[in-house]
Homo-oligomer: A and B are copies of this chain.
Amino acid sequence: MPRAAGGRASEPIPDIVIRRLPVYVRTLRHLADHGVESISSNELADRIGVTAAQIRRDLSYFGRFGKQGKGYDTAYLSEAIARILRLDRRWDVALVGFGNLGRAVAHYRGFAPEFRIAAIFDLHQENIGERVGDVAIQDEARITEVVAGEGIRLGIIAVPATAAQDVADRLIAGGVTALLNYAPVVLRVPPHVTVREIDPLAAMQSMTYYLDD
Binding site for B on A (CB under 8 A): 1-2, 18-19, 21-23, 25-27, 47-49, 84-87, 91, 93, 100-101, 103-105, 107-108, 110-111, 114-115, 153-154, 156, 177-178, 180, 184, 186, 194, 196, 198-212
Can you report 15 residue pairs joining A to B where beta carbons are below 8 Å apart?
A1-B210, A1-B212, A18-B209, A22-B202, A22-B205, A22-B206, A23-B199, A49-B186, A85-B205, A86-B208, A91-B208, A101-B108, A104-B104, A114-B205, A180-B207
Q: What residues of chain B lie closer than 8 Å to A201, measured between beta carbons?
A: 22, 110-111
Residue A198 contacts which of B85, B203, B209 (CB distance < 8 angstroms)?
A: B203
Q: From residue A153, how far is it (CB to closest CB) to chain B in Å?
A: 5
Q: What residues of chain B lie closer than 8 Å to A115, measured between beta carbons?
A: 204
Q: Closest chain B residue to A211 by CB distance?
A: B153
Q: From residue A61, how far is it (CB to closest CB) to chain B in Å?
A: 12
Q: Are A186's CB and B23's CB within 8 A?
A: yes
Q: Are B48's CB and A186's CB within 8 A?
A: yes
